[in-house]
Amino acid sequence: MARKLAVIGAGLMGSGIAQVSAQAGWDVVLRDVTDEALKRGTDGIKASYDKFVAKGKLEAHDADAALARITATTDLDAAADADVVVEAVFEKLEIKHEIFRTLDKLVKEEAILASNTSAIPITKIAAATERPERVVGTHFFSPVPMMQLCELVRGYKTSDETLATAREFAESVGKTCIVVNRDVAGFVTTRLICALVVEAAKLHESGVASAEDIDLACKLGFGHAMGPLATADLTGVDILLHATSNIYTESQDEKFAAPESMRRMVDAGDIGRKSGQGFYKH
- What are 205-221's pLDDT values in tens digits? 999 999 999 999 999 99
121-124, Cβ contacts within 8 angstroms, sequence gap of 24 or more? 121/155, 121/183, 121/184, 121/185, 121/250, 122/153, 122/154, 122/155, 122/158, 122/183, 123/155, 123/156, 123/157, 123/183, 124/93
Architecture, CATH, for domain 189-273? Orthogonal Bundle (1.10)
261 known ligand binder: no
In the structure, what pLDDT confidence band is assigned to residue 119 with cuts at 50, 70 and 90?
confident
Mean residue pLDDT of the chain comes to: 96
Query: Residue 2 pLDDT more than 80?
Result: no
Query: Residue 118 pLDDT more than 90?
Result: no
Do 4-180 and 189-273 come out as alike in CATH topology? no
Mean pLDDT of 5-9: 98
- What are 18-54's pLDDT values in tens digits? 999 999 999 999 999 999 999 999 999 999 999 999 9
Q: Is the pTM of this model over 0.75?
A: yes
Give residue 91's pLDDT. 85
Mean pLDDT of 127-149: 96
Q: What class, spelled out in words, does domain 4-180 have in CATH?
A: alpha beta
Q: What percent of the chain has pLDDT over 90?
A: 94
CB atoms within 10 A of CB 97: 15
Interstrand relation of 176-180 and 149-154 (parallel, antiparallel or unpaired): parallel
SS3 270: coil
How do the domains of the chain map onto residue ranges?
4-180, 189-273
48 known ligand binder: yes
In the structure, what pLDDT confidence band is assigned to residue 1 with cuts at 50, 70 and 90?
low
55 known ligand binder: yes
- What are 73-96's pLDDT values in tens digits? 999 999 999 999 999 998 889 999
